[in-house]
């Protein structure tokens, strides 16, 4: 069961501590990277059979496979993917930067030229969950920026197939090539190139501890976006919020990973108890209930504070990846939020829809 902590009665360490992965995978990842550098495709086939239990005849997804997958996906879901792609394009078009020139009184010209990288490699997690949102969120900005080649690496299932929704999202986003490779070996392939997979200029996308460590080790040979830690969500909610909604939003991240962090900050002890009860009702109903249970019990916390201003101060100290403001007039608090990856405004703006 998730812990309820009263802010005035606990230490800062209890409030602000984050779970860390204590398993050192650096040696394993280093060996995988060296093997891929030396043996290239041969190593990728070996690791695919070892880790994914798939014996592949080729690494690249064919156009026929993509088209077949696209036609399998529910038409309503395709409509949603297309709408999401449209929204993402609108947002990221606003981020496009332009160069500039400055000429001073002596005629000296200085300036900045903005140039896209030629190629980008996108890592898309596989396994028991599918993340078409990752495909759209990573590939569409790359296309808007002007990357000439955008490729995806993602692990196959034991039959050597990629989840159809991943391939459908890739087609919608205009991805150039897709490869059936996951894990640290996929990152190594993008960093150094193999007979099949091209070396890229930048690697982006989330992954497990092996993927994160691989990105760390190849950084310098290739640009990366970041070394991401476990997924996390922080919800600031008052007692007017629906405890069922808040619990569901916390679980939307808790089910990602046993190391994920789900935190609620509220000024109501009774509301904290309601959310605690609701989590116990919802967890058994999840497909990934074992992961969610481990995450909530070991890493989750509900912090009860004096008021919403204090809640925001605590949130700024935590600096969460995802922050929900489930309060009246959330935009009144926006300027006070200094440290958060993304902010979801209001009681009906779940992180799962906007991430």
Model confidence pLDDT, tens digit, residues 133-165: 999 999 999 999 999 999 999 999 999 999 999
Q: Buried b / exposed e across 216-244, counting CB within 10 Å, b at 16+?
A: ebbeeebebeeeebbbbbbbbbbeebebe
Model confidence pLDDT, tens digit, residues 60-112: 999 999 999 999 999 999 999 999 999 999 999 999 999 999 999 999 999 99
Evaluated on CA atoms 226, 27, 208, 145, the torsion sign reads positive
**Beta 149-153 vs 119-123: how paired, if at all?**
parallel
Average pLDDT over residues 198-219: 96
pLDDT of 355 above 80: no
Average pLDDT over residues 305-328: 96
Catalytic site residues? 321-322
**Region of residue 329 (left: phi > 0; alpha: psi -120 to 50; beta: else):** left
Length of the chain in terms of residues written: 355
Q: Buried b / exposed e across 316-339, counting CB within 10 Å, b at 16+?
A: eebebbbbbbbbeebeebeeeeee
Residues 6+ apart with CB under 8 A from 5: 14, 15, 301, 302, 303, 304
When the pLDDT of each residue in the chain is averaged and rounded to a whole number, the result is 95
Q: d(Cα 315, Cα 319) in Å, to the nearest integer?
A: 6
Average pLDDT over residues 27-31: 98
Neighbouring C-alpha atoms within 13 Å toward the C-beta of 224 = 22
Q: d(Cα 217, Cα 64) in Å, to the nearest integer?
A: 35
**Region of residue 318 (left: phi > 0; alpha: psi -120 to 50; beta: else):** alpha
Residue with the bigger pLDDT between 15 and 298: it is 298
Topology adopted by domain 28-93+117-224: Rossmann fold (3.40.50)
Using pLDDT thresholds of 50, 70 and 90, give the confidence band for residue 14: confident
pLDDT score, position 257: 87
> To the nearest 10°, the Cα dihedral for 63, 129, 218, 17?
160
**Cβ–Cβ under 8 Å, residues 259 and 295:** yes
DSSP bridge partners of 301: 3, 263
Domain boundaries, the chain: 3-19+230-354, 28-93+117-224
Distances (CA, A) of 5 to 99, 105, 114, 307: 50, 62, 48, 15
Distance between terminal CA atoms of the chain?
Answer: 26
pLDDT score, position 205: 96
Q: Rounded to 5 degrees, what are φ and ψ at 10?
A: -125, 165
Question: Same CATH fold, 28-93+117-224 and 3-19+230-354?
Answer: yes
Q: Which CATH superfamily, name and number, covers 3-19+230-354?
A: Nitrogenase molybdenum iron protein domain (3.40.50.1980)
């Amino acid at each position: 069961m998730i812990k309820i902590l009263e802010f005035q009665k606990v230490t800062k360490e209890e409030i602000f501590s984050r779970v860390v992965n204590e398993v050192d995978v650096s040696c394993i990842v280093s060996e995988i990277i060296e093997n891929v550098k030396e043996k290239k495709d041969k190593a990728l086939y070996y690791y695919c059979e070892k880790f994914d239990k798939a014996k592949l005849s080729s690494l690249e997804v064919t156009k026929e496979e993509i088209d077949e997958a696209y036609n399998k996906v529910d038409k309503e879901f395709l409509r949603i993917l297309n709408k999401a792609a449209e929204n993402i394009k609108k947002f990221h078009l606003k981020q496009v930067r332009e160069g500039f020139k400055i000429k001073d009184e002596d005629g000296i010209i200085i300036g900045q030229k903005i140039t896209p990288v030629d190629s980008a490699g996108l890592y898309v997690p596989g396994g028991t969950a599918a993340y078409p949102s990752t495909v759209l969120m990573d590939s569409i900005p790359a296309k808007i920026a002007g990357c000439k080649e955008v490729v995806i690496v993602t692990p196959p299932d034991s039959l050597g197939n990629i989840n159809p929704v991943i391939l459908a999202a890739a087609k919608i986003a205009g991805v150039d090539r897709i490869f059936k490779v996951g894990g640290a070996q996929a990152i190594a392939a993008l960093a150094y190139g193999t007979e099949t997979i091209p070396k890229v200029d930048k690697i982006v996308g989330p992954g497990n501890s092996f993927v994160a460590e691989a990105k760390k080790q190849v950084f310098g040979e290739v640009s990366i976006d970041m070394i991401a830690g476990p997924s996390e969500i922080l919800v600031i909610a008052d007692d007017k919020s629906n405890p069922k909604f808040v619990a569901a939003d916390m679980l939307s991240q808790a089910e990602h990973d046993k190391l994920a962090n789900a935190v609620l900050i509220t000024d109501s002890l009774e509301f904290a108890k309601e959310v605690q009860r609701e989590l116990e009702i919802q967890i058994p109903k999840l497909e990934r209930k074992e992961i969610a249970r481990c995450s909530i019990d070991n890493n989750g916390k509900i912090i009860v504070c004096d008021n919403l201003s204090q809640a925001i101060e605590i949130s700024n100290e935590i600096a969460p990846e995802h922050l929900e403001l489930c309060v009246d007039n959330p935009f009144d608090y926006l300027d006070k939020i200094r440290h958060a990856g993304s902010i979801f405004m209001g009681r009906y703006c779940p992180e799962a829809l906007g991430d």
